[in-house]
Amino acid sequence: MPPARPSYWPQRVFVTRDASDDALTQRVLSRLGDVEVVHLDRRADPVTETDFGADAANDASRFDLGKRTLLLTRHEGGWMERCPAGSGNLVCCNLWTVNPGEGCPLDCSYCYLQSYLKRNPTLKLFTNIPDMLSTIEAAANAEPSRLFRIGTGETIDSLVWDPLTDLSSELVPLFGRLSNALLELKTKTALVDQLVDLRSEHNGRTVVSWSLNARVVTEREEVWTAALEDRILAAARCVEAGYRVGFHFDPLIDFDGWQDAYRETVDLIFASVPASRIAWISLGTLRYKREMQQVMRERFPKSTVSLGEQQLGSDNKMRYCQPMRLRLLRFMWDSLKERSADLPVYMCMEGASSWRAVSECSSSEDASLVEIISRKGRTDGAAAEGVFLQ
């Protein structure tokens, strides 16, 4: 029986010729059911390349159209990349990224993809998944002494397409067989049925993580995502199925009453998930490219996110000044550490001075963070056990 059709599923699908016979293409099309399908001779972004008239007159409307359009195509080039957050003077969490697609059908007002995918707004799923799986396996086998922490949630929600693709059913068992790699599936959905079914195959090598926020942010700014309680309930189900889970408070947003609102979310987590089953929690504050502000305002006219006190930084990104960021980060850090002093908490897109101010130590001094943060990722460190093993 086909799954119930969520509102965010695409209305129109484009398929490139080279992808049309791939198993994933056939699976997705059969599960989508009655949907307009257009075949393309070459790989190009359909929303950018096709004349949709007034429906795609500017960046905002093109992005809206992209959210309703799916391209099934083969991925060309490398699959595994270093997370781009490790550039510049920022402290890196040593994550590798693998993208089984591009773009997210969920619609968060603050999402950086609105600028990152401005020229390629069509949602994409890559159909040569066997190539992706063999690349991961080869990389892990080539360096058996290195630990690979690999996430699939950089430019796509890791689970949102699972009812169409069954991708988790291929990724989770693969990582279960690899002794030196850990998979992070990052989501804002509650689509974990298939993960629960894989309870005997994950072997502790998959961490399922949720992007969380204050309830008011979740309800007002995160269109089509699962409700806050549903995400935490899904996390509890994964814990029950033997997974460790992670949480990402990103972006933390400054608004009236943010302390109570974020404390509520922290309370909800610890009411349902034991601290011992939490692999890590990350913290990051609101940031986006300057050019995205206009798109946000056009696409989300009722949102007040872009009306906060963020200012333009030297990297052309809008963000709160460091003292305002530290206020948010320190509050969350302290709230989490109060619950469990050993909880591995780290910050995303922050430099060394933020680490000193928030954690009162450098990122390399906290043993529980060494393997998350260290670029070496050795398998022989005691700290590695904390992160990689149950």
Partner 1 sequence: MSVIGSFIEERRVDAKFQSRLNELQETEQVIVERLIQCLSPSANTLRELIRLAEEIAARESRSLLDVLSAEKINQLLEHSSSKKERQRLIRQELEQQRFPKLHKLHAELNQCQTQLLNDLGLRLELPRDLEGDTLSLTISAKTARDFERQGAKITELSTHPALARIFSLLKGDF
- Residues lying near partner 1 in the complex (CB under 8 A) are found at 254, 304, 307, 309, 311, 313-314, 321-330, 351, 353, 356-357
Q: How far is the CB of 72 from partner 1 (least distance, A)?
A: 38
Helix H or strand E segment including 170: helix 168-177
Integer angstrom CA distances of residue 381 from 119, 372, 387: 43, 12, 10
For the beta sheet containing 287-289, the strands, ordered from the edge strand earlier in sequence to the opposite edge, are: 287-289, 317-319, 311-312
- Return the structure tokens found at 55: 């429906």
**Nearer to partner 1 among residue 141 and residue 362 (C-beta):** 362
Q: How deeply is 1 buried, as exposed, middle or buried, from its count of CB atoms within 10 A (0-12, 13-18, 19+)?
A: exposed
Task: Compute, in degrees rounded to 10, the torsion defined by CA atoms 114, 119, 122, 126.
Answer: -110
Q: How far is the CB of 320 from partner 1 (least distance, A)?
A: 8
Q: How far is the CB of 319 from partner 1 (least distance, A)?
A: 10
**Nearer to partner 1 among residue 173 and residue 308 (C-beta):** 308
**Nearer to partner 1 among residue 78 and residue 301 (C-beta):** 301
Give yes or no for a contact between 26 and 101, defined as CB atoms under 8 angstroms apart. no
DSSP 26: H
Q: Count of CB atoms within 10 A of residue 291's CB?
A: 13
Integer angstrom CA distances of residue 128 from 21, 77, 100, 165: 10, 12, 9, 12
Q: How far is the CB of 328 from partner 1 (least distance, A)?
A: 8
**Nearer to partner 1 among residue 60 and residue 275 (C-beta):** 60
**Nearer to partner 1 among residue 179 and residue 322 (C-beta):** 322
DSSP 5: -
d(CA 272, CA 266): 10
**Nearer to partner 1 among residue 196 and residue 324 (C-beta):** 324
Q: How far is the CB of 249 from partner 1 (least distance, A)?
A: 16
DSSP 198: T
d(CA 387, CA 390): 8
Q: How far is the CB of 304 from partner 1 (least distance, A)?
A: 5
d(CA 378, CA 372): 11
**Nearer to partner 1 among residue 154 and residue 250 (C-beta):** 250
Count, residues in the chain: 390
Give yes or no for a contact between 206 and 241, defined as CB atoms under 8 angstroms apart. no
3-class DSSP assignment, residue 352: helix
Q: How far is the CB of 288 from partner 1 (least distance, A)?
A: 16
**Nearer to partner 1 among residue 27 and residue 327 (C-beta):** 327
| SS3 sequence of 234-261 | HHHHHHHCCCEEEEEEEEECCCCCHHHH
Q: How far is the CB of 171 from partner 1 (least distance, A)?
A: 38
**Nearer to partner 1 among residue 314 and residue 316 (C-beta):** 314
Give yes or no for a contact between 390 and 244, defined as CB atoms under 8 angstroms apart. yes
- Return the structure tokens found at 343: 């909880």
CA torsion sign, 55 to 59 to 62 to 63? negative
**Nearer to partner 1 among residue 230 and residue 291 (C-beta):** 291
